Chain A
Amino acid sequence: MARVETVVADFLILGGGAAGCMAAISSAEADSSLEVVLVEKAEISRSGAAGRGMDALNNVVIPGIGTVEEYLEALQVVADGTLEPTISRVIGERSFGLLQKLEQWGCQFPRDSRGQYIVGSFHPKGRFLVEMRGDLKKLLARRVEAARTKVYNRHVALAILKEGNHAAGAVALDLKQGVLRAFLAPAVLMATGGAARIGLPSTGYLHGTFDCPWCNGEAWKMGFEAGAELTGFEYTATSSMTKDFNGPGLSTFIRHGAWLVNGLGERFMERYEPLGLERAPAGIRAQAMLEELRCGRGPIGFSCTHLPEETISLIEEGLFSTERPTMRDYFMRKGLDLRRDPVEVVMSEVYLCGGHGLAGFVADSFGETSLKGLYAAGDCLANPYGFLVGAMVMGEVAAQRVASLKEKRPQSPNLGETLDLLQESLARHRKGALGVSVREFEYKFRRLVNEYVAPPKSQLKLSRFLRETEGMLADQEDLPARDPHQLMKVMEAKAGLFSARMAALASLFRTESRFGLYHHRVDFPHKDDPNWKTRVILSAGPRGPLVRKERP
């Protein structure tokens, strides 16, 4: 067995995005004697999907404006009848408390002339969206520091450790030293995001994705291999993305009343969803956009020309100051002015996400997965459209649970055999017998995702994807990596291929169409409520993944 430095703690957090940071802060608040370690691939003050900023909390149930029941009703519409409400209820109930806490910490929530929060509509029903300003991630990172959490930046988590049927820690790769490091703890929280790099964006850039490209399903692969169950992988989402740019940020147009228009200037959502219009469930909106493009009525875009100047200024101010400041450079380069021009959008590549989608770990109300002691929060947890609020609430909930249980530290985890396997795997990558670059490998499976897994789906296409990528599973073990950064890229590619295959399996299993475009099966074009108003669950079996319905 290889010798590595071993760090022992009471609580190990993998991923220092909004969820992981909030977990670190909350565990110290709950029990200051708890020793907490946070392992982060980048650097916590700027990492994760909210690293650069976020201009709103999308889902806060504000007393007097909305209720938790209304929030769950809205989510049930978005999840097309398949919502399992346990986690969403917790998020709804704690959302306003979270906003108050953040405001106390110095996060800004602008008020209107009557001193009220600026609340908008984003969901198909209800008003749960609150405008936000300020540098949230920096603020959280300072709190993590004050909480005396031991932070290991630039460490890539590679495998979950177990003691019997209980999580016992993780092994990570130190990106700067190029060595492995072991972390032992009786409770492990996975908070490393969703999978952004499974489909190919239209620009052709591997990292030009809608979602944060440095998160690619690593938690899903590690957690699944350790015994945690997954759900929602047939919800292969695609969003509107600014043409020739990347990243999210367009929800601001929807909530501030911009129209989706086609090349003829028509507000085309009137044809597809006359009541919900732009606020239709994401899969319905995506289907409408694709249909307009398919019929040759493109280009499509968001138009603000009918909006008053104060609304346009609010959109620009939020977008350029907080959500996506590089968008200002982009607008200038393209000569775009919202007062005059629609912002052209394209359909993004497909992605999988637990916080703005349905894909992620199955968990109980504390975020504990089907493996004891292994928790999940943020975009790797199935917390349907829980967004940033869901990430922070579930980080908080998991931490409070861990602090209350205070379990004994692991005595005999499977560290030796895990290290042996990892060392062997890293040695093979250093050798790189495949002789194909990880970029070429990644491009290949992502092109196949576009062709066979992205909707519209069919049994023929999905099975073809699984067959074509079967050989790639063997190939990936010999991908070359000459430095730690490339090893990280290899791990991300493997996790992306794993996630894409899970998406194909789940999509194959759900023999109906649901979620608008996202799970449109041409061979089963109708929604089948009596049989399929349920989640699809993936679990690891002795001879490969098993797929089942949550309820028969």
Chain B
Amino acid sequence: MNLYIDEKTCIRCGACVEHCPGDVLYLDEEGFPFERYPEDCWYCGVCQAECPVECIQLLFPYLIR
């Protein structure tokens, strides 16, 4: 997983999903975003930039930490 999305802060607006350039993120049944295709992430930070409540943190995968 490349992201930490804070469940308490997230307002389920779907902005991160809508804008993700890699089609990495999807909404689950409760409208909470998750990484369906984490291996396609470029860590570009679009999800972070689009989040209106700043609840997304980039974790970076292990090999590049």
Contacts of B61 in A (CB 8 A): 205
| Bound complex: CA A212 to CA B19 (Å) | 15
| Bound complex: CA A205 to CA B62 (Å) | 11
Minimal Cβ-Cβ distance residue in B for A211: B42
Minimal Cβ-Cβ distance residue in A for B41: A207
B23 within 8 A of A: yes
Tell me the B1-51 residues at the A interface (CB within 8 Å). 18-23, 36-37, 39-46, 48-50
- The 8 A CB mask of A190-223 against B (1 = contact, 0 = none) is 0000000000000111111100111000000000
Contact of B64 among A154, A205, A212, A485 (CB under 8 A): A205
| Bound complex: CA A289 to CA B49 (Å) | 34
Give the number of chain A interface residues (Cβ < 8 Å): 35
Most buried by A among B21, B37, B46, B50: B21
Q: Is B45 in contact with A52, judged by CB distance below 8 angstroms? A: yes
B58 within 8 A of A: yes
Contact of B18 among A43, A175, A209, A244 (CB under 8 A): A43
A45 within 8 A of B: yes
Q: Is A213 in contact with B49, judged by CB distance below 8 angstroms? A: no
Q: Is A207 in contact with B44, judged by CB distance below 8 angstroms? A: no
Q: Is A207 in contact with B22, judged by CB distance below 8 angstroms? A: yes
Give the number of chain B interface residues (Cβ < 8 Å): 25
CB of A348 to closest CB in B, whole Å: 13
Contact of A326 among B36, B39, B40, B43 (CB under 8 A): B43
CB of A176 to closest CB in B, whole Å: 9
Contacts of B22 in A (CB 8 A): 42, 207, 213-214
Q: Is B21 in contact with A247, judged by CB distance below 8 angstroms? A: no
| Bound complex: CA A204 to CA B39 (Å) | 11
Q: A488 with B23: in contact, given A46-B50, A205-B64, A325-B49 (CB under 8 Å)?
A: yes
Contacts of B48 in A (CB 8 A): 325-326
Q: Is B21 in contact with A244, judged by CB distance below 8 angstroms? A: no
- The 8 A CB mask of A32-75 against B (1 = contact, 0 = none) is 00000000011101111001100000000000000000000000
Contacts beyond the supplied A42-B21, A51-B44: 15 A-B pairs with Cβ under 8 Å: A42-B23, A43-B19, A45-B19, A52-B45, A175-B23, A205-B63, A208-B42, A213-B42, A244-B64, A245-B43, A245-B64, A246-B42, A247-B42, A325-B48, A326-B44
